Structure 1
């Protein structure tokens, strides 16, 4: 079963700037893939279309079989919160919220009842090995731990697909390896993962590799 499918997807910005051209890409349930390309190749634009954070100018984006390009903003937000989780280069944690409270924020958009949020957030932190740090504030956590909280927040809704944009880019080499090891563990547990990177060494740790150059998927 495909979790995500792009068919002929393209993106053109004002002034005739074409960021993506005729992208066909299918991600099956249980896959782990890296999308790799140099700066300016269209990786971030592709991620935004995959994550329904932006709409394609041409083509279609299907999430779990549903045509996301045909949905209104409210329905699209519900689809995104149900099926997708996001991990970015920066963890974007709220300074005044504890680790578990930051993770629970991800449940607000899914309309999860308040009484269930903390337990589910604690479970997500346990999955990334941070159950013992759940009541710590972001400034009390290391860079790698903050990124793990961000990953837990992406997992808390049990998404069909986790999209990660350069998640090791702001980390030192050793911490980056630990985060990649966590992604491998999560994939082994059944999580479908698509990770954007410019680093071929990072890409080589994934089972499938997709290259993008000048806005096109290369053969």
Structure 2
């Protein structure tokens, strides 16, 4: 199975000598759904930034959809990020004053598509998340769960190689949060590759694969129906 994301011995050292990631290696196969879990300060946010090419590692290699990011100048890296990585954040980051369809269409600006096709693709993405009937509503007319679905539609509109969801249920109540998780599961069953970054151990344990971080290192990598891989740190 093709790997869409590969981290090899990745470390990230922040100014002042603080090591946020310490020799992390991870391979994500096309069609996988996994959680990256760990307490505050474990390195989850830094790992998200590195996985999403928002930040370059201090050492080690990162490959996204077969492209080694160290080989790419900033402009090419921005294009790769825009076309091959979808982001979903805890806060929805929707633009007020424009419709759900227009919010989703913005994700396709870097794809070089004409406006009419961008609107068509946006509507298709909204249909996939069950919001085609709300395409012409503005963010303030949508519930929190609906706004997060719009954000997910925006992330998948360009058919990215991987979707990175950072605490996607963090700003939602329990019912809406469960709905968003089920939507992500449905998208994964349809073939989307999804990594959920979360501190919620129950959510992480419910997904097909759980990668656990502690002090900047991967201490466990568990797949459903497989024995836990221990990496030298007792739980």
TM-score range for the pair, normalised by the shorter chain length: over 0.9
Structure number with greater CO (CA < 8 Å, separation at least 6) is: 1
Match of 1:44 in 2: 45
Match of 2:210 in 1: 209
Deviations 1:177-202 (A, max 9, x none): 00000001000100010000101111
Q: Give 1:83 deviation, angstroms.
A: 1.2
Match of 2:6 in 1: 5
Aligned-pair Cα RMSD in Å: 0.7
Match of 2:188 in 1: 187
Deviations 1:72-96 (A, max 9, x none): 1110011112211000001100001
Any gaps of 5 or more consecutive residues in structure 2?
220-230
Match of 1:167 in 2: 168
Matches within 5 A, 1:78-93: 78-93=79-94
TM-score by length of 2: 0.92
TM-score by length of 1: 0.98
Match of 2:178 in 1: 177
Q: Give 1:154 deviation, angstroms.
A: 0.1
Please state whether the residue corresponding to 1:162 is helix, strand or coil: strand
Any gaps of 5 or more consecutive residues in structure 1?
none
Match of 1:27 in 2: 28
Cα separation, 2, equivalents of 1:40 and 1:147 = 25
Match of 1:120 in 2: 121
Please state whether the residue corresponding to 1:39 is helix, strand or coil: coil
**4+ residue runs over 2 A deviation:** none
* Residues 128 and 152 in structure 1, CA contact (< 8 A), matched pair in contact too: yes
* Residues 56 and 69 in structure 1, CA contact (< 8 A), matched pair in contact too: no
Please state whether the residue corresponding to 2:10 is helix, strand or coil: strand
Please state whether the residue corresponding to 2:165 is helix, strand or coil: strand
Cα separation, 1, equivalents of 2:17 and 2:71 = 24
Cα separation, 2, equivalents of 1:216 and 1:111 = 39
Deviations 1:44-81 (A, max 9, x none): 10000000000000101001111112211110011112
Cα separation, 2, equivalents of 1:117 and 1:82 = 13
Cα separation, 2, equivalents of 1:43 and 1:186 = 23
Match of 2:19 in 1: 18
Cα separation, 2, equivalents of 1:135 and 1:115 = 15
Please state whether the residue corresponding to 2:154 is helix, strand or coil: helix
Cα separation, 1, equivalents of 2:70 and 2:10 = 10
Cα separation, 1, equivalents of 2:11 and 2:151 = 29
